[in-house]
Amino acid sequence: MHRFPSEEWTEAWRVALSNDPAYREAGKPWRFGSVAVIVQSDPANGVERDAGMILDVDRGECHGATFVEDVDNSVEAEFVIVASYVCWKDVIERKLDPIKGMMEGKLKLVRGHLPTIIRFVEPARIVVASASKVPTDFN
């Protein structure tokens, strides 16, 4: 089990995504840069500071993943998506579709082009599916 969010969880997510043939195929058209997933601080759930996972994705490959703590929306990534710990937990547990969550304002795209993200609904779902394969400890 990997504590979410953490460096170990981020690395396990990178491995899961890198080994996913569905992502390699569906993600081939993605040439728009890295994507940062920011988890807002939530001391009640053990997240003392905002934390982020930056995925270096391009053309169906995940070239790396970096875990960062005490971050803000200015993290270096072309796309930055911010949400509460509870929302990310729901996304990882596949209780909340990430695109639907953006449309409902539960996940906020604070950097990047929303129409571009929407064009890549299927790869986004595969990225979430790979995250759901990581043995995760949410508390």
HEC readout, 90-121:
HHHCCCCCHHHHHHCCCCEEEECCHHHHHHCH
Token digits of residue 25: 């195929």
Instruction: Check residue 74 and give its pLDDT.
Output: 67
Local structure of 3: helix, strand or coil: strand
* Residues in the chain where the model's pLDDT stays below 70: 73-74
CA distance 9 to 24: 21
CB atoms inside a 10 Å sphere around CB 65: 22
Helices (H), 39-92: 85-92
Instruction: Check residue 73 and give its pLDDT.
Output: 63
Instruction: Check residue 43 and give its pLDDT.
Output: 95
Instruction: Check residue 78 and give its pLDDT.
Output: 94
Instruction: Check residue 19 and give its pLDDT.
Output: 94
For residue 1, what are the CA distances in angstroms to 9, 122, 129, 136?
Answer: 8, 27, 17, 5
Instruction: Check residue 118 and give its pLDDT.
Output: 87
